[in-house]
Structure 1
Amino acid sequence: MASPPPTISTQIVRHIRDCLELAGVPSAKLLDQYGIAPDEVDNRDHAVPLAAYVRFFEAAAETSGNQHFGMHAARLMGADGLGPLSFLFLSAPSLGQAFQTFTEHLDALQESTFNAFVIDNKTSHFSYSIRDDVLTPRRQDSEYSIGVMYNLTRRYLGGQTAPVEVHFEHERVGALSWYESYFDCPVYFEQSQNRLYLSVDLLNRGSTALSTELFPIIAGHLKARMHGHSHSLTTVERVSDILISNAPDNLPSLELVAKSLSCSRATLMRRLNAEGERFGNLVTERRIGHARQLLTSSNRSIADIALACGYAEAASFTRSFQKQLGLAPAKWRKINSKLTSARRTAASRPTS
């Protein structure tokens, strides 16, 4: 039996809808166009398909004429914008714990999403991406999500911070100065992940926003809310997450992945085989998935994309891509560019 499609809470969809209405654009017809029942968006206990949300978000930006709609929506999000997840973050005993618990509970609001918080020697980073590479373009969601984490961090610290740098997986749209003014730091595009980098010196600071006494209460509520629909990650999912967290042109070997999972190379191969998968296939999926992102969200040449995805030359990339998707990269890009253009045209039609 096929798994149901991943969903996202109406808590998030409602804020995007409200921002669209605030921009003077009626939302009901646009929501309905993407299969979201307008009257269900106000129900806090409902969820909508993740794919519908992503497409609605892109259409909202097009219809409003605001190319930075997602980042404006992030800036307008209140302290309750993510419901209990916002309060969990803002009441955590330290900023480091705020990020760590946020990543552990995001599934309560949004499924099929990779997010991680990693601490290095001098910097830490929060990573975010939607696992399904078919969902493109998704620039608005990516910029909104990183923008939300940036604004939550500022609210937690009382506005006394700036990131070290910000990364986005898509191509830049608009002036670089606009992004760098928004985040008050260098911003880089066409990266392997959407990431917010922070100095480790900030991680031990406490909240200026909410009492830490709320933290265990909210954590308990979210744990109970997740009970029943959360599940232990399969070996395939755990390996995929390790690959997602690394750049496609510098993926870890089978031996390194096995070590990070505290098992031997042979054990990892056996576990993957028991789930009907091979390590090489997961590596290819990671590389081709990133290629799809670059093909739809950038104007980079096929040769450049091949190198960015870990292929030594364009010919081997083309063969691998065609084997996976049945089309050469150039033809796939052309077809999907037409589909994206058609969606934008439909979204830009007047709503009444």
Structure 2
Amino acid sequence: MKKVTLNGSFPMIRAAVMGPVVRALDQSGADCDTLLQAFGMSRRLLSNPYEMLPLTRYVAAFERAAEVLGESSLGLRLGSELQLTELGPAGLVFLSSPTLRAALRKFALALASWQNTTACELLHDDEWPIWTYQIASPQIWPRRQDAEYSLSIMCHMIRLVRGAAWNPVEVHFEHAAPADLKPYARIFRVPVRFQQPCNGMILRPQDLAASLKSADTQMARMMERHATDLIASDTVPHSIVEQVRDLITRRLAHEKLIVADIAKDLGLSHRSLQRHLAEQGTSVRQILREERQRSVAGLLERDGLTNAAIARAVGYADATVLWRATRNWKNKPT
């Protein structure tokens, strides 16, 4: 049967990135839980910073949060206030690198452990180096908040290692210019250009060679190893069946699984997903049943778990629903 791949993997990002957004909503008194629920998330899901979320949901939730708060430059502000630990190993690799050049390059490599399908690199255009950031999937749009958050973070991190007075040469964004440009002047303190080919920050050549006072060779090695281990352990499967199975497994206990939502997270239409799975002799419903059977079998081997707890762990409302499901499983082939 034909093996279908989606550019190698579907866009994912660690739950830790939602921390600043949740704090901003809570501090304003906004209904954070309702917003999270609208995008298939919850505080319980986000309590594990290593949990992986569909990038599409994160980007859309960030855009909605800015609307709810009435703060169009939310990403800019949150990036300038970020705690480096919320970037996982990428933030600590940056902080402990010997020079800014090394910090930017090691950061780009380590960031792959925190989010995928993102182009993040240090380029040299003639004599002016530029650090660029861009979500690789053009279908994820609008994405203004994520872009401004990411460049604001990088400016903030460089100032942490080079001093608060440091400024880039120029800042570029792929989206159109908003009506109010004052927040950009306040954060970057340099010219900002919009509707550019990519998001980027132009630096001075001498910036790259400067030694960083926060350099820590042992820490850098540890965090690089940690990032490598995360990438290896969370590599997303390539076949469409494996990708659907992986997504269902991650979401089983946390949210209601809807075929249309799964298709959207994979960058497919509802009909296309069904067609691809049918070509391989399966369906979302069948994969979901298989994963629930596997999970229930494992949970039943644990001591002290009630049927109600097992039911919740596999996404059922209560023990009665679980009992009905297990009875049906016995009458159907696996």
How many angstroms apart in 2 are the aligned matches of 1:160 and 1:208? 16
Distance 1:154 1:214, change over 3 A: same
How many angstroms apart in 1 are the aligned matches of 2:218 and 2:211? 12
The aligned counterpart of 2:87 is 82
Q: TM-score, normalised by structure 2?
A: 0.65
User: Within 5 Å, which residues of 2 pair with 1:171-190?
Assistant: 171-190=176-195
Alignment partner of 1:164 out of 166, 169, 177: 169
Alignment partner of 1:217 out of 211, 222, 237: 222
The aligned counterpart of 2:145 is 140
User: Within 5 Å, which residues of 2 pair with 1:226-237?
Assistant: 226-229=231-234
How many angstroms apart in 1 are the aligned matches of 2:13 and 2:84? 19
Q: Percent identity, please.
A: 29
Alignment partner of 1:42 is 2:56: no
Q: Is the 8 A contact 2:89 2:110 kept in 1?
A: no
Q: Is the 8 A contact 1:155 1:208 kept in 2?
A: no
How many angstroms apart in 2 are the aligned matches of 1:159 and 1:182? 11
Q: Is the 8 A contact 1:158 1:208 kept in 2?
A: no
Q: What letter matches 2:56 in structure 1? A: A
Deviation at 1:177, TM superposition (A): 3.6
User: Within 5 Å, which residues of 2 pair with 1:251-266?
Assistant: none
The aligned counterpart of 2:29 is 24
How many angstroms apart in 2 are the aligned matches of 1:210 and 1:83? 17
Unaligned regions of 5+ residues in structure 2, if any?
237-334
Q: Whose radius of gyration is greater, 1 or 2?
A: 2
Q: Is the 8 A contact 1:157 1:209 kept in 2?
A: no
Deviations 1:113-134 (A, max 9, x none): 1111113443211111111111
Distance 1:133 1:147, change over 3 A: same
Distance 1:210 1:16, change over 3 A: farther
Q: What letter matches 1:42 in structure 2? A: S
Q: Of the two structures, which has the highest relative contact order with CA contacts closer than 8 Å and spacing of 6 or more?
A: 2
SS across alignment from 1:162: coil
Alignment partner of 1:129 is 2:134: yes
Deviation at 1:230, TM superposition (A): 5.0
Q: Is the 8 A contact 1:168 1:189 kept in 2?
A: yes
Task: Give the aligned CA root-mean-square deviation in angstroms.
Answer: 1.8
Q: TM-score, normalised by structure 1?
A: 0.62
Q: What letter matches 1:17 in structure 2? A: V
Q: What letter matches 1:123 in structure 2? A: W
* Equivalent residue pairs, number: 231
The aligned counterpart of 2:57 is 52
